[in-house]
Amino acid sequence: MNPGQSTATLSKSAPAAGARPCQVVVLISGSGSNLQAIIDHRKAGGYQLSGVISNRADAFGLQRASSAGIATRVLDHKAFTSREAFDAQLMQEIDAFRPDLVVLAGFMRILSNGFVQHYAGRLFNIHPSLLPAYKGTHTHQRVLDAGEHRHGASVHFVTPELDGGPVIRQAVIDVRADDNKDTLAQRVAIEEHKIYPEVITWFAHGRLQIDDEGVLLDGQRLPECGVQSGCHQ
């Protein structure tokens, strides 16, 4: 649920032998369960986590990062007089790590247009719905209230439109008759932990591009739903 991308084309080549691995900075605000999945997959995915930044000092994800030997930073948004001032300092903190990719993993801040454009084409978010449906918060309850039969998660490039960037990857689950918002959240989270590291791996190996018309994977134009998998469980 956060902003970033641009219409500029992102074109990366697969890393050459001995080349610097893709450097990733992750932004968090809370427990960091998606962060943990990204940490666990980093060796197999061929990317490195150069830093984890939180706007909350009590975010458990900071402990996850420290335990994995990853540098952490805390930048309290309440210490700034405006969103733009916070984002300007956040950009400085991020850029100090020289990242190739910035990943939002439960980062509960709406980002300014300036921030989004600064990381155009290299800023990802994950959202607990099948975008473009159910942007915003409380997605699991809203899906139940609407009587939907399908739900899931989406990884997308971030744009200035909230939860509006081009979708790269989706995972679909069936909504069960006995589901509540907590059971749905648990099963969606399982899928998030699979697809987020997968998309980061695609980026790290130069397989993703974005242009005015959307997303390409291995040179093939993706549909609006991105790469989609359904798990009927």
Q: List Cβ neighbours of 157 (8 Å cut-off, separation of 6 or more).
A: 4, 5, 121, 123, 124, 165, 166, 168, 210, 215
Q: In what order do the strands lie in the sheet with 208-211?
A: 208-211, 214-217, 220-221
pTM over 0.75: yes
Mean pLDDT of each 10-residue bin along the chain, 233 residues long: 38 51 98 98 98 98 98 97 97 98 96 96 98 96 98 97 94 97 98 98 97 95 92 43
Give the domains, in start order, of the chain with CATH numbers.
Answer: 22-231 (3.40.50.170)
How far apart CA 157 and CA 13 sit, in angstroms, is 18
In the prediction, which pLDDT does 20 show?
86
The β-bridge relationship of strands 167-174 and 150-157 is antiparallel
CB-count burial class (<10 Å; 0-12, 13-18, 19+) for 212: exposed
77 carries an active-site annotation? no
Structure tokens at 26: 């992750």
* From 41, 77, 118, 127, active-site residue: 127
In the prediction, which pLDDT does 18 show?
52
Looking only at Cα atoms, what is the longest distance across the chain? 52
